[in-house]
Amino acid sequence: MKTHSLTKKLCLLFTLVTLGTFIVKAQSTKNVSLNSFNSVSVSAGIQLIITQSNSESARIEANSNNIDDVVLENSGGRLNVKWKKLDGFFSKNRNREAKVYLNYKNLNSVSASSGSLLKSTNVLKADRLSVDVSSGANLNLQLACNNLEVNTSSGSNAKLSGSAKNIAIDSSSGSTVSAVETNTEYAKAQASSGANIRVSVSKGIEASASSGGNINYKGDAALNKKGSSRSGSVNKIG
């Protein structure tokens, strides 16, 4: 009888723990209205999914305990997507995850940092676009622009597809840029400190690689190799 009673208590305890875990992890959704912006940044492990649209709005998906900690701050037309700063013991021991679905009209700058993810659901169309990825963040963009500037650092990754007439890439500190699926006419690429760049270019490329940096380019572009050291490499592929 005692064994049976103990078993029932253990089963009840397991059920309560399981139910409590489910409740804690329950997902919530929150819609956010936005003022006009033309630049966006995301940080601290948040996933930002962007869509070019005729309107500007955001939808947040997160744990019900954390959803109000997601901050969308518009500072002079720059929208910063980040976590609210927490104080005390729980600031270091609270695991927070969130997805933000963002509709935008026009962007001229995107930035991802600190383990965040930024990706597009459709083609980002712009005349000029600046892309910055750092501190282990990941970026995946479809784009169509005339002038594209890409900066990556600190183990981050950027994957680009689409078209850009002119592209300038500066990668450092073990970061990676994959732009072989981007149709480019002219490229300027600089890789250092173990960074890797892959680019597709049809007319001309100026390349510089140092300190273990690597640049691989695809296409019939004329190569102007500048400032590469023995520890860096510039190669034509496929």
Tens digits of per-residue pLDDT, 7-66? 565 555 555 444 444 444 689 999 999 999 999 999 999 999 999 999 999 999 999 999
CATH number of 30-237: 2.160.20.120
Return the DSSP state at 51. E
Give the domain ranges of the chain.
30-237
Burial 19-39 (b: 16+ CB within 10 A, else e): eeeeeeeeeeeeeeeeeebeb
Question: Tens digit of pLDDT for each residue in 77-130?
Answer: 999 999 998 876 555 546 899 999 999 999 999 999 999 999 999 999 999 999
pTM above 0.85, yes or no: yes
